[in-house]
Structures are given as structure tokens and as C-alpha cells.
Amino acid sequence: MKIGFIGLGRMGSGIAGRLLSAGHDLVVYNRTPAKAAELCKAGARLCTTVSAACEGREVVITMLGDDAALESIVAGGLLNSLPKGAIHMVMGTHGVPTIRALADTHAKAGQTLVAAPVLGRPDVAAAGQLGIVAAGPVDAVNRCRPLFEVIGRRTFEAGAEPEGATAIKLANNFTLGCAIQAMSEAFSLVRKHGVAPQALYDVLTEGLFSAPAYKVYGKIIVDEAYDNPGFTSVLALKDADLALAAAGAARVPLPSVNVLRDRLLGAIAHGDGEKDWAVMAREQARASGLE
């Protein structure tokens, strides 16, 4: 399949690498061209403009950090250069109104938007084991299935409206964030009583909380391994804000997200914005008089 890929951060690079290894015709664009070096060595072609990355492509995938970046790329060449009948697959995490409006824009241009945000960290992306939440017109989603099979371990169907996938991704992220926040509180509690965090980690992960979320992020907290982020505090704050905006539009109270957001704001204020978002545990420890 002829694919254009825009956005080569750690997640994007891992996904693009999977597509390339599966034999797809891949062209890439990134604001910082040096990030495409390894992919180009493996056979991808670097484009110097957004338009060039979209011309003649069947699918163009964007993996971008926020709504502003997505809107800039769309206005900066994607919309005018993507062929009629082609698909724009949005794999980043964006706001519900942004995805809804972009779907309408593409429809008017004779193109199709498929929202396919992913679940997992960069190492999971590189291994082709991401979860993919896909939503959009049935025919377009079906055309993308060969790509999903290369990228992920499972595709979760979220309906015919692209913003459905966005709502699920935001809900998943704030649920995970709240789990990290709850662990942060729990580890601070046992530390205040003189107990080693590893002891609580073993109890949690070998008992009722043996899921990957607790194992992965609990281990990061115990080891204080915040300097190799899979997802930064800054990006997590962006997603918390998007979740609150989606909730406000639907009149759904999300009290837990406000606690999560406050911890993220504190972490960022203390200079931990580019560290893994599990650094919320350090912020909780500060609040507990441990740091």
C-alpha cells in the first residue's frame, strides 16, 4: 500500500518502522528531518514538505502531539494534496471537537478520516503490539485493516463516527492516569510508615492488581525511573484537559480527572514536565513530606 507518514516521534517512528518492515511503500515527513534517518536507511523516502508526503498516497497517517500540530499539518498541505478517495488515518490523541470537525472537512474534500489512536508505549509500538481503537466509515476502516494487523496486537471497533475512537482513547488515558495517581498515594502511605515500596509493589502485582498498568508503572515508581519517558507529564496534562473538555460538552462529571490534573500541574511546576508521567509519584511524595 502507498502510505505517507507524518510525525516521527518515538511512537511514530516505531509504527512507521513496522509498516516499512511489512513491505509497504512508505514516504515520511517530519519537522525535524534527522528523526527520519533510520527509517530512510531501511528504505523509506524522506519528503521535504507535507504536500509531497500526501501526493499519490492511498493512506496518510499522522502521529502528532496535539490539536494545534494536527490542524497545522492539515492546513499546511495535507488537505489540498491528499487524493480524493484517500484516507487520513489519525493515530495521535486529539480532542473530540477537533476530530469531528476534521472528519467533516475531509468529507467535503472527497477524502475520509479514520481515527485510530493507539494504546501502548514506544517499545510496544516498535514490537507491533499496540492496541488500536479504530472508528470511521466501515469501508475505510476495512481498507486499513492490513495496516492495523502490522501495527497492533488487537483492533477495538468504536463505531462509524471517528470521534468515538477519540472518546475511548481519552477515557482509557484518564483511567490509567488515575491508577498511577492511586499507586502514588499508596506508595507514599507505606513509605511514611517505614515500609519499602518494593514490598507494596509485590503485594499489588502478585494479587488483585496484576495487570500491566500496575506492573509497568508501579515498577517505574519503585525504581524512580522517570528519565526515559514513554509518555510525558506535559502530554498527560494535554490529555487530561481534553478529557475534561469532552466531559464538559457531554455534561459528564469527572472528579477523578481533576485530582490527576492537579498532580500533573505540580510535577510540571517542579520541572518534571518532560519526565514520564509516573513522576506524579514524586509530586505525591512531596505533598506527603517525603521529598
Work out the burial of residue 60: count CB atoms within 10 Å of its CB; fewer than 13 is exposed, 13-18 middle, 19 or more buried.
buried
Whole-number pLDDT of residue 3: 97
Whole-number pLDDT of residue 287: 94
Which homologous superfamily is 167-287 in? N-(1-d-carboxylethyl)-l-norvaline Dehydrogenase; domain 2 (1.10.1040.10)
Whole-number pLDDT of residue 291: 78
Per the CB < 8 A criterion, the answer to whether 158 and 168 are in contact is yes
Whole-number pLDDT of residue 222: 97
How far apart, in Å, are the Cα atoms of 159 and each of 153, 163, 164, 195, 237?
19, 9, 6, 47, 27
C-alpha cell at 286: 512531596
Whole-number pLDDT of residue 130: 96
Chain-centroid distance, C-alpha 207: 28
Please, what are the averages of pLDDT over each run of 10 residues along the chain (291 residues)? Answer: 95 95 96 92 95 97 96 96 98 96 97 97 93 97 96 96 96 96 97 96 96 96 95 96 95 95 96 97 95 78
In the chain, residues under CATH classification 3.40.50.720 are: 2-160
Whole-number pLDDT of residue 111: 98
Whole-number pLDDT of residue 55: 96
* Class of the CATH domain delimited by 2-160: alpha beta
In the chain, residues under CATH classification 1.10.1040.10 are: 167-287
C-alpha cell at 36: 527520519
For residue 19, the one-letter residue type is L
